[in-house]
Structure 1
Amino acid sequence: MPRPSKGARLWLKPAEYGKDGKVRKRSVWVIRDSSKSVVTGCAPEDRAGAEKALAEYIDDKYEPETVRQRPAADILVTDVLNLYLQEKAPDHARPEKTTASVLQLAEWWQGKTLADVTGRSCRAYTKWRVGQPWKSAKPEKTGNAPRLVTEAGVRRELEDLRSAINFHRREGLCREIVEVTLPPRSPAKIRWLTRSEAAQLLWTCWRMREMRNGKPTGRRTGKHLARFILVGLYTGTRASAICQAALKLGSANGYVDLEQGVFYRRPHGKAETTKRQPPVRLPPRLLAHMRRWAKDRDEKTISKKFVVEWNSKPVGEVNKGFAGAVAKAGLGKDVTPHVLRHTAATWMMQNGADLWDAAGFLGMSVQVLERVYGHHHPDHQRSAITAVTSKRSGK
């Protein structure tokens, strides 16, 4: 009986050396599909580029069947994932993250049908996936141990599988309801920064310098992080929206209107999602900073096209640089870019902000704001405290 195909996947082809010990062919990522091999042209460190090439290869090769109202046992999970990759992923805020998640799911669910998606198989996927190093990790380059996949990471991937299956069914392509069993949600950890912690982190970023041979140079490497942190603290905006914020109106990005002082966090023409991104009026102090960053100084202009730039180019994400700054500032690993959003919400509540105004500013519902951050508000449970400590009149 022939062995089942593993499907299209990435393989890092090792370098080839001549008899003289010199490199004849450099190491490169290759797409392997049965007996077929396709060279991506991506170097070992360009895993993201290789995954993009794999996604394009799969997209070109597979055309999901679109026969309506088929039974779950006749529908391949990979067809469902590929349809989701084609139709929905491009509209996501970070389509490259969705692509990476879908490719990871396809590696395990290859050859399985929707009828195989059960509680047992989802738990088996969780057991197989937990503890694996993230493919984005580069321990050979950073010298640090790779981050390992946790149950929270698996839950996020299975949420993508659930979304893909639900989208497929809503398109009328499957006549059965297929449930995806998720790992339990991790307990909420609302970490926020005190004023002194925020100041320490900002000063650390501002003073960071490039190191060469163990000695600092004059090149400052953390100023863009300091700008990112200021925007996060003053607006409570999610990290991806800050990194993508442009200084001119465009269809692919949110933008900052420096003249009117308004941050349009959602790209123009993009539909609203569950992660609300309403326009927000910029605090005067932050607006003054942004106008100074964008002031024309020829080659020395700080922000030319985007609010946060590194070497005059937009910043894709700040996770690694931010983690390094957090370590240098002496803060814990629990301080992530999303903590800036928690901090903004907490500071608003501590200073007695109106719940409706704060919720609209942050882009969340009043119910969520009150449930998660409401205990920081000075009026929280005030009537109860007054009632329990006051004496009844006439008694």
Structure 2
Amino acid sequence: MPPAQPLVRDVLAGYIEDRRPRVKSIASIEYACAALNVHLGDLKPEHLTRQVCRKYAEQRRAQGARSPSWKTRKPLSNGTIIREIVTLRAALKWAVSEKWISEAPQIEAPPAPAPRERWLTRDEAKRLLAHIKAPHVHLFVLIGLYTGARTGAILELEWSRVDLATGIIHFGAGEGNKRRSIVPMVPQLRDALSAAAQIRTSDWVIEFYGKPVKSVRHAFRDATESAGLADVTPHTLRHTCATWMVMNGVPFEMVAKFLGNSVEMIERVYGHHSPDWLRQAANALAGLDGFSGPSGPEK
């Protein structure tokens, strides 16, 4: 039975329990809901005005990361706050569908951050791999570079979806707009996976002492610092894969299929790396009669 007068924390708790058996990434939903509860949990849904949402964004930005392992707390980016707001919107929508509340208030989110441009050159990628000590993290990086798969897809990958005979990896269906792909392996990745398969002790491709790995964030950060690479995260591997393909003239449609993205997104984020980007438009301006350059028209 729904609460007679549900608070925001009640809605978030109900949403978590509804989603728990349906999604694999429940931890990210729980993390967002924990942050939302601190500032908004005691409010009623109808109290979530634009001003309240703006105040929440200000407080979260100043509060910084909630992880106690961080020595210093850095202000949060809008991207993290937006993910929390999106979770709140989804929970309120769920509450309407379950007739806990009659309607969901309009929830305002801060502006979306500009897309990250950071990607690795070939030399930087080699340097990163050379500074990774743990074999499972080394394999994680190879898969990220050569498939462009998201971190979650790589960590959830099981050997049953790796076909070494045909050289194909099936990353699964994905959730929502985060589609996953079926991709071929390049020879280097196929060799690495074949070697890992010989000594595997579990069903997961990325394992540590026979157990699945929940996160490679800390080991990855240590490797980037040791390699002298700034502003590099596990997601940078996906950007690198896409950038390398586009720079080598792979059509946007093929890159989108490979990564499980839309063609529009690939063109918007990575199009400027293409050697043929806007070439047709530039060619249309060539050969203008009566113009010889900066000195002006011919006399």
TM-score normalised by structure 2 residue count: 0.88
Contact 1:293–1:303 under 8 Å retained in 2: no
Larger radius of gyration: 1
Matched residues, number: 289
Aligned-residue sequence identity (percent) comes to: 35
Question: Pick from 144, 157, 161: which aligns with 1:245?
Answer: 157
Contact 1:131–1:150 under 8 Å retained in 2: no
How do 1:111-260 and structure 2 match up within 5 A? 111-139=42-70, 144-205=71-132, 221-248=133-160, 255-260=161-166
Letter in 2 for 1:176: E
Contact 1:64–1:82 under 8 Å retained in 2: no
Structure 1 SS opposite 2:284: helix
Q: Does 1:329 align with 2:223?
A: no
Shift of 1:303: 6.4
* Residue deviations 1:163-217 (CA, integer Å, cap 9, x gap): 1112222344433241111122222222111111111101111xxxxxxxxxxxx
Question: Pick from 164, 179, 195: which aligns with 1:292?
Answer: 195
Distance 1:272 1:154, change over 3 A: closer
RMSD (CA atoms): 2.1
Q: Of Structure 1 and Structure 2, which has the larger fraction of its residues in helix?
A: 2
Structure 2 SS opposite 1:226: helix
Letter in 2 for 1:235: T
Which one has more relative contact order, counting CA pairs under 8 Å at least 6 apart? Answer: 2
Letter in 2 for 1:378: P
Question: Pick from 250, 263, 278: which aligns with 1:366?
Answer: 263
Which residue number corresponds to residue 210 of structure 2?
Answer: 312
User: What stretches of structure 2 of length at least 5 have no aligned partner?
Assistant: 290-299
* Residue deviations 1:65-122 (CA, integer Å, cap 9, x gap): 3x8xxxxxx4421222122111124433421121122122123223311110111111
Work out the CA distance in 2 between the residues paired with 1:123 and 1:306: 42
Contact 1:138–1:146 under 8 Å retained in 2: no
Letter in 2 for 1:277: R
Question: Pick from 50, 64, 84: which aligns with 2:2?
Answer: 64
Question: Pick from 185, 188, 201: which aligns with 1:282?
Answer: 185
Distance 1:375 1:321, change over 3 A: same
Structure 2 SS opposite 1:263: strand
Shift of 1:353: 0.8
Shift of 1:288: 2.3
User: What stretches of structure 1 of length at least 5 have no aligned partner?
Assistant: 1-62, 68-73, 206-220, 249-254, 296-300
Work out the CA distance in 1 between the residues paired with 2:286 and 2:275: 17
Which residue number corresponds to residue 386 of structure 1?
Answer: 283
Distance 1:365 1:303, change over 3 A: farther
Which residue number corresponds to residue 96 of structure 1?
Answer: 27
Which residue number corresponds to residue 355 of structure 1?
Answer: 252
Shift of 1:271: 6.7
Shift of 1:294: 0.7
* Residue deviations 1:301-322 (CA, integer Å, cap 9, x gap): 1564322222333211111111
Question: Pick from 97, 101, 108: which aligns with 2:39?
Answer: 108
Q: Of Structure 1 and Structure 2, which has the larger fraction of its residues in strand?
A: 1
* Residue deviations 1:139-179 (CA, integer Å, cap 9, x gap): 4xxxx434543443222212211111122223444332411
Work out the CA distance in 1 between the residues paired with 2:15 and 2:128: 40
